[in-house]
Structure 1
Amino acid sequence: MLRDATEDDVNLMLSWRNQEVNRQVSKTSHVIGADEHRRWWSAVRTDPTRRVLSYLRDGVPAGVVTFFDLRLDGPRTGSWGFYLDADGLAERGETLPAWLEVMREAVDHAFDVLTLDRLAGEVLAHNTVVRQMNRRFRFVEGEGRQEIHDGREITVIPISLDRANRRRR
């Protein structure tokens, strides 16, 4: 289940975002400090072009879904990303089911709640498992581009999914 993130979620979000597995598949791979995270939270919670949602698995907070660059007039578009409590889900043997569930719920939210026409995102080229999962959900990859973040060169691949091409349950 997805719900609006609250102040009570802030510390959990930071701890999950700083898990090694999440940092290595993110454009910014440094450990995020409390001040940096607070500045981010202060900015996103009042930004009309952003939404931050908590993902609950069996009623327990287990991840974060962010929507950003929302354009809700004219062609309705937006971008998204997510990360999970990778360590906690792995301990419980729930990583794959949670991953499938959060992607389904995020895509449904984008098209059914935000009523987007197109959902975009990015994936790092070396993240082959996520790229494969994105294809399963019918996201289309664009041409990769080289970027430098946190002193490392990465290849970022844009992805997109149009409303008409989404996989229905």
Structure 2
Amino acid sequence: MLRRATDADIPSMLAWRNQEANRSVSINQHLITAEEHAAWWSRASQDPTRRVLMFEYASRPLGVVTFFDHDPVARSASWGFYLDHDGTTADGTALLAWTKIMREAVAYAFAPEPDGLDIDLLQGEVLPHNESVRAMNRRLGFTEGEPYEQTTDDGVVTAIPVSLHRDDRPTRRSAKEQ
């Protein structure tokens, strides 16, 4: 389940984002300070082009989905996500949580408002070495663009743009057809 993030979620969001597994697949890979995170949350929670959502499974928060650059006129948005990698790995729910957060985020992006963004184009980026997310992106119908380099506070990073159009999402087949 996805729900809007609140001030009470700030400590979990920061702790999870700073986990090594999440930093290693992020464009910005430095440890984020509490002050930096508070400033981001202050901006993000007031920005009408952003939605920060908590992913919960079995009534337990397990991850964060961020939609940004939401343009209702162009019917597009960008997104990113991360999980409580350490917690889900320790309790054996990592694969389940990872699969569910991606599927629920994509469904939310294309769902009608007020329960979703009601967009036609979802965009993001992935690092070349993040093969597991790249493979899941392909299963969900995302296409990859040409890799490009961008300069961050941490140095130069190569990213691969990904996009998914509403009409390109795979349809689920019945068990008989599979």
Query: Into which bin does the TM-score normalised by the smaller protein fall?
Result: over 0.9
* Corresponding residue of 1:154: 157
Give the conservation status (yes or no) of the 8 Å contact 2:78–2:122.
yes
1:50 lines up with 2:53 in the alignment = no
Q: CA RMSD in A?
A: 1.0
- Within 5 Å, give how 1:39-118 maps onto structure 2: 39-73=39-73, 75-112=74-111, 113-118=116-121
* Partner amino acid, structure 2, of 1:127: N
Partner deviation per Cα, 1:1-23 (whole Å, 9 max, x = no partner)? 00000011000000000000000
Aligned to 1:26: 26
- Structure 2 Cα separation of the partners of residues 17 and 96 of structure 1: 18
Whole-angstrom distance in 1 between the partners of 2:150 and 2:53 = 28
Q: Secondary structure at the match of 1:105?
A: helix
Counterpart selection for 1:136 from 129, 134, 139: 139
Give me the TM-score of the superposition, normalised by structure 1: 0.96
Q: Give identity over the alignment, percent.
A: 53
SS of 2:37's equivalent in the other structure is helix
Residue-pair matches, total = 168
> Could you list the runs of 5+ residues in structure 2 that have no partner in the other structure?
173-178
Determine which structure has more spread, i.e. the larger CA radius of gyration. 2
Normalization by structure 2: what TM-score? 0.91
Gaps of 5+ in 1: none
Deviation at 1:149, TM superposition (A): 2.8
Question: How far apart, CA to CA, are the structure 1 residues paired with 2:158 and 2:39?
Answer: 27
AA matched with 2:107: D
Q: Runs ≥4 in structure 1, deviation > 2 angstroms?
A: 147-154
